Amino acid sequence: MESLRDKLITTFALLSLASARKNIYARRAALSEHIEISRLLRVIGESESVQARRLFNSLRGKVDMTDRYIQTLFDKEIEQIIERLSEDLISAAQEDDTPMIQVLSQLRSVERRNKAFYLSENNEIKIEDGQNYYVCQFCGFVSSGSLPDCCPICGADRKAFNESSVNV
């Protein structure tokens, strides 16, 4: 029998997916000049994002900022994502799905780059005070320091980058 915690983790994943999907469709609606539909989808997506965040906060309990927790975030979580993307890449190759092979290869490269922010041999995160971060809105590549002319992963122009708006 599935535990309550397992059920809530599934609900969190569904809310997160629904939020992301609404944001994608909101962008498409805006490009098609369906502005009111776009606005409504963005609002509902934001609502689902808030719900997911609240559920996640309830599930995680006290945040542990020990070296072991940070190591788990970078060494285990990101590695699990890389492994999953590698498995998906094999499946895409078996189905001869060239566009999906390209997408999955880029996403795996991005996650490998994200993992590089952590020096596991020193249990440290490579950061500088006041560092600017830019995220490619096409593939998710994170550039630290300065805005690149183009994305080294997907080739997107510098216009595809947004400066991270994460506030602490």
Q: What is the pTM of this model?
A: 0.65
The pLDDT, as a whole number, for residue 167 is: 45
The pLDDT, as a whole number, for residue 109 is: 94
Question: Residue ranges of the alpha helices (H) in the chain?
Answer: 4-31, 35-60, 67-71, 78-94, 98-115
Predicted confidence (pLDDT) per residue in 76-89, tens digit: 788 888 999 999 99
CA distances from 67 to 10, 56, 70, 148 (A): 28, 21, 5, 31
The pLDDT, as a whole number, for residue 122 is: 58
The pLDDT, as a whole number, for residue 106 is: 94
The pLDDT, as a whole number, for residue 60 is: 73
CA distances from 46 to 23, 26, 43, 109, 134 (A): 8, 11, 5, 28, 22
- Residue 126 CA to residue 119 CA, distance in Å, equals 7
Q: Which residues of the chain have pLDDT under 50?
A: 166-168
